[in-house]
Amino acid sequence: MLIRREVPGDRAAVHDVPRAAFGKDAGPPPVEAVLLEALRECDGWLPALSCVAVVEGEVVGHVVGTRGYVGERPGVGLGPLSVRPEHQRRGVGLALVHTVLGAADALGEPFVALLGSPEYYGRFGFGPAAGHGIEAPDPAWGRYFQVRPLTAHDPAVRGTFRYAEPFDRV
């Protein structure tokens, strides 16, 4: 398995990953697929934080980090993360999350926020966002809204996290 930044030639394959991971055989595309396409077209898209997992030349997983804010202070919102069903539970998601966290840290980002399973994301150093003074966009998210501070994190940054605009409408 190779984890690398997404390149323009990957776009069609990346488009299919969340559909395979979250979709059903018929019906409308899953929200993760719709969100991913909307994020590509917004100002919050961070190309350096769009990473793919490739196995035998095939894109089998994808993760993206997009620009978010606490007040006027930038951060990163993680997701969607998706892995083709036949490659799930084989470390692909683990490798993608580690890669995007390392890339965000190398770029000087202060923290990464996400909505997800504390049991899954805790292994990456994510913890309750409120413990870092960062509040969820929706208070009902509770412990599922998490933050992973990075090297450039400033603990004085406090307030409500705001995801890239497509998260509000998808």
- For the chain, percent helix, then strand, then coil, each to nearest 5? 40, 35, 30
Per-residue pLDDT tens digits for 61-108: 999 999 999 999 999 999 999 999 999 999 999 999 999 999 999 999
Residue 127 has pLDDT above 80, yes or no: yes
Written as one letter, the residue type at 105 is D
Q: What CA–CA distance (Å, rounded) separates 112 from 66?
A: 9
* DSSP string computed for 59-70: EEEEEEEEEEEE
Classify domain 2-169 at the CATH topology level.
Answer: Aminopeptidase (3.40.630)
**Structure tokens belonging to residue 157:** 């940054």
